[in-house]
Structure 1
Amino acid sequence: MKFKPHLYQDFAIRRIIEQPAVGLFLDMGMGKTVSTLTAVADLLHDYFEVSKVLVIAPLRVAEDTWSRETEKWDHTRYMKVSKVLGPESKRIQAVMTPADLYVINRENVEWLVGYYKSKWPFDMVVIDELSSFKSSKAKRFRALKKVRPFIKRLVGLTGTPAPNSLIDLWPQLYLLDGGERLGKTITGYRDRYFQPDQRNRHIVYSWRLRPEAEKAIHSKISDICISMQAKDWLDLPERIDNPVRIPLPAPVRQKYKQMERDLLLPFTDGDVVADTAAVLSNKLLQLANGAVYDENKAVQEIHQEKLKKLEDIIDAANGKPILVFYTYQHDLARIQKHFKQAKLLENSQDIADWNKSEIPMLLAHPASAGHGLNLQAGGHIIVWFGLTWSLELYQQANARLDRQGQEHRVIVHHLVAEGTVDEDVMKVLEGKAIGQDALLAAVKARIEKINT
């Protein structure tokens, strides 16, 4: 296929070539991968600026997306991709194989750094989903930080740079510029732009922005980060978000309230116990979905209201394929038992079959299907059987269908049990999305310059 870049893609390609480090904060479905591949091909074989390129990506994306995308386009089809995946022996064999791109999953970054140490060979690194390096305490961040001085060029790709708060930006920007813009340490960054919010004496649980800090942060990073949103550039069919409110039967509501009040739900063969707020939240989400793990890790089924509503949605779809996101393993088991036509997304063949409309109901966990998978050819209906607190997973998962190439209006059904924590999750996701949009808008590229 011949690649005809959109105006914004051409701009992104030029920025990757011209700048040694750049963050591409592009909405999902705007072609970050092909834009980066185009720039990498030019840097490798036209400008001779780099010699060995490493791509760090989520596992499913590392397994499938980069090689599939390389083979898709005429101008990148010649590029050889070596997948540094699997057992250590296979990883070693992969890094020793001559290739244009070496693709590794982010969980093995620490191993790769330890394997090469000071003899790090990759002079260009692409981090697919830069936001997965948002924790300064994570081993993957600390490992990559060690070899950052050996990296000549670095590109960070993400559609959600600050999924929870602007605190998340510091590690990502440090990998781009070594602390030049937001400071050399996370402590200094926090002290400069934030102040304690919720705390217990000396323990700070959350931070809030100082006055004018958000504007200052945006200004600091605007020269190294390109932010573009699909709504400004792509003529996509408007997405419909449909909260499906589900009233729970009185006995179920009573059990829910008991769990919420007493942190305990007794059963004959094992109680459901929640000893912290986080555990309680998790248990209540499970209960809202219809089943919950007890203290013996056995599944206690409470109700089937979401299964019934999912059945109604399938009937209304009238044979159109449906992508269902589940949260817990007991959700998966119950859906598969109830709907014999359901197929779990497990490998590349499943992706191909879905895109050929051969799977009527595809089940996926947002953490494993949240990045880089192109599923828009197979359908346009999404059902969230269980909700997630993570804005990043939520947005990325929806973007599997709501992305460039989608020809139909995407419908996103959210199964929300009334009077439960489901309602709180929806409000939190909407609240975080407001902050995320503010960040993206603040560092949006000065596109007017493209037209001149």
Structure 2
Amino acid sequence: MIYKPHHYQAYATQWIIEKHKSALFLEMGMGKSVATLTAILELMYDYFDVAKVLVIAPLRVASTTWEEEVEKWDHLKHLRITKVLGSEKQRVAALHKKADIFIINRENVTWLVDWCQSDWPFDMVVIDELSSFKSSKAQRFKSLKKVRPFIKRLVGLTGTPAPNGLIDLWPQIYLLDGGERLGKTVTGYREKYFLPDKRNQMIVYTWKLKEGAEDSIHEKLSDICVSMKAKDYLELPERMDNVIPIELPKKAKEQYDQLEKELILSIEEADVLAGSAAVLANKLLQVANGAVYDEDGEVKHIHEEKLKALDELIEAVNGKPVLVFYGYQHDKDRLLHHLKKLNPKLLQSDQDIKAWNKGEVQVLLAHPASAGHGLNLQTGGSTIVWFGLTWSLELYQQANARLWRQGQKQTVVIHHIVAKDTIDERVMKALEDKDTSQAALIEAVKARMNKYKEVTPHG
């Protein structure tokens, strides 16, 4: 296929070529991979500036997306790719191959750094999904930091550089410039641009920007980061969002209310930490979906209302393919059993993706975390059903972008099955407001706490 870049893709390619360290904050579906590969091709064979390139990516993207892009475009066909995936033996064999681009999943970055030791061979590194290096405490960050001095060119790619706010930016930018723009330490960065927000005595859980800090950070990064939003450049298909409210049966609602009350009253107000709030939210989301794990890890079935609503949705689309997102293992098991007559497929392999895109699958089940970055599913269907909601805005947006992206020919309809008077409604509102921060979760728990404290007499 002949590559005719959009003007913003040509700009992105030139940006990479001209800068030894750069970041492309391009939203989903804007063709980050081909723009980057075009830059690699030119740097390697026109400028003779790089010899060996390492691409670090999420596992599924590492195993499919980059190779598919090279195969798809005529001008890239001379690039030799090897995938450093699989067992240690397979990874070592891949590293010994003659290739231009070596692709590894991010979980194996530490292994690679340890294996190469001081003999780091890659003069250019591309981090596909730079936001997965947003924690300076993570081993993958520490490992890459170790070999950063040996890397001549570094490119970071992501559509969501700061999924939880600008506090996440420091580690990502540090890998690019060694602390030149945002400071040498995360503590220094926080002190310069942020004020403590939510805290419990000495422990600070959230930070808020100082006045003018956002503009100041953007200004600091403007020479190495280019940010582009899909809606400004792409003809995205129409999208319709639909909420399907369901009523829990009386007994199930009583169980839900009882569980919520027990969990909330077991938390002291001063101790509403992100961890305890997340545990509480997880339990309640499970019950809203229809089942929950008990203390022994056994699945306890509570209701089938969401399964019934899903049946109606599948019937209404009249044989058209449906992509269903689930939240928990027991959701997946119940869905597979309930829909067995339709022969549902789990999104697990490249074969599943191909079968879906060929129109051979009527119902595809996926966990949002496994259908994230880089998967193209838009040719297989245009209907999404959220059987269980996620508190992660990043996962939610990435998952929807599998179908709602450039190349989609149909209007994309996104259904959300929401249990009335449950945590589902609060999660749905948080997703609509684009506020799924830990602070919002803690506030949601505190709001419920106040309700129960008001009606519970103090003994």
TM-score normalised per structure 1: 0.92
Matches for 1:231-310 after TM superposition, within 5 Å: 231-263=231-263, 276-310=276-310
* Alpha carbons 1:61, 1:373 under 8 Å: kept: yes
Structure 1 ranges of 4+ moved more than 4 A: none
Matches for 1:412-427 after TM superposition, within 5 Å: 412-427=414-429
> C-alpha offsets along residues 224-249 of structure 1, whole Å, 9 cap, x if unaligned?
11111111111122211112222212
Evaluate the alpha carbon distance shift between residue 260 and residue 313 of structure 1 in structure 2; reply closer, same or farther with a 3 A threshold: same
CA distance, structure 2, for counterparts of residue 123 and residue 284 of structure 1: 49
Of 388, 396, 402, the residue aligned with 1:394 is: 396
- 1:382 alignment partner AA: I
2:373 is aligned to 371
CA distance, structure 2, for counterparts of residue 418 and residue 282 of structure 1: 17
CA distance, structure 2, for counterparts of residue 221 and residue 417 of structure 1: 43
The Cα of 1:384 is off from its aligned counterpart by: 1.1
- 1:43 alignment partner AA: L
CA distance, structure 2, for counterparts of residue 77 and residue 386 of structure 1: 42
- 1:380 alignment partner AA: S
* Alpha carbons 1:163, 1:432 under 8 Å: kept: no
> C-alpha offsets along residues 45-92 of structure 1, whole Å, 9 cap, x if unaligned?
111110000000000111111111111110112222111111111111
**How many residues were matched structurally?**
426
- 2:225 alignment partner AA: C
Evaluate the alpha carbon distance shift between residue 222 and residue 427 of structure 1 in structure 2; reply closer, same or farther with a 3 A threshold: farther
- 2:282 alignment partner AA: N
1:58 is aligned to 58
> C-alpha offsets along residues 143-167 of structure 1, whole Å, 9 cap, x if unaligned?
1111111111111111111111111
> C-alpha offsets along residues 190-228 of structure 1, whole Å, 9 cap, x if unaligned?
111111111122111211111111121122112211111
CA distance, structure 2, for counterparts of residue 91 and residue 67 of structure 1: 16
2:226 is aligned to 226
CA distance, structure 2, for counterparts of residue 242 and residue 182 of structure 1: 41
CA distance, structure 2, for counterparts of residue 333 and residue 104 of structure 1: 31
State yes or no: 1:2 paired with 2:15. Answer: no
The Cα of 1:434 is off from its aligned counterpart by: 10
2:142 is aligned to 142
2:204 is aligned to 204
2:456 is aligned to none
CA distance, structure 2, for counterparts of residue 328 and residue 285 of structure 1: 9
The Cα of 1:263 is off from its aligned counterpart by: 2.1
* Alpha carbons 1:292, 1:299 under 8 Å: kept: yes
* Alpha carbons 1:258, 1:264 under 8 Å: kept: no
- 2:140 alignment partner AA: R
The Cα of 1:264 is off from its aligned counterpart by: 9.4
CA distance, structure 1, for counterparts of residue 428 and residue 146 of structure 2: 39
The Cα of 1:327 is off from its aligned counterpart by: 1.1
> C-alpha offsets along residues 359-415 of structure 1, whole Å, 9 cap, x if unaligned?
111111111111111111101111111111111111111111111111111111111
- 2:348 alignment partner AA: E
Evaluate the alpha carbon distance shift between residue 434 and residue 197 of structure 1 in structure 2; reply closer, same or farther with a 3 A threshold: closer
CA distance, structure 2, for counterparts of residue 245 and residue 11 of structure 1: 45
The percent of aligned pairs where both chains have the same amino acid is 65
Matches for 1:54-133 after TM superposition, within 5 Å: 54-133=54-133
* Alpha carbons 1:383, 1:413 under 8 Å: kept: yes
2:446 is aligned to none
CA distance, structure 2, for counterparts of residue 110 and residue 77 of structure 1: 30
State the secondary structure of the residue aligned to 1:137. Answer: coil
Evaluate the alpha carbon distance shift between residue 263 and residue 195 of structure 1 in structure 2; reply closer, same or farther with a 3 A threshold: same
Unmatched tracts of structure 1, length 5 or more = 266-274, 436-452
State yes or no: 1:318 paired with 2:318. Answer: yes
State yes or no: 1:428 paired with 2:434. Answer: no
- 1:70 alignment partner AA: V
Of 359, 362, 372, the residue aligned with 1:360 is: 362
CA distance, structure 2, for counterparts of residue 151 and residue 403 of structure 1: 33
CA distance, structure 1, for counterparts of residue 94 and residue 113 of structure 2: 15
CA distance, structure 2, for counterparts of residue 391 and residue 100 of structure 1: 36
- 1:101 alignment partner AA: I
* Alpha carbons 1:164, 1:432 under 8 Å: kept: no
> C-alpha offsets along residues 1-34 of structure 1, whole Å, 9 cap, x if unaligned?
1111001101101101111111111110111111
2:331 is aligned to 331
2:268 is aligned to none
CA distance, structure 2, for counterparts of residue 122 and residue 192 of structure 1: 34
CA distance, structure 2, for counterparts of residue 236 and residue 433 of structure 1: 23
CA distance, structure 2, for counterparts of residue 68 and residue 179 of structure 1: 35
CA distance, structure 1, for counterparts of residue 432 and residue 173 of structure 2: 25
State the secondary structure of the residue aligned to 2:164. Answer: coil
- 2:90 alignment partner AA: K
1:383 is aligned to 385
CA distance, structure 2, for counterparts of residue 67 and residue 199 of structure 1: 46
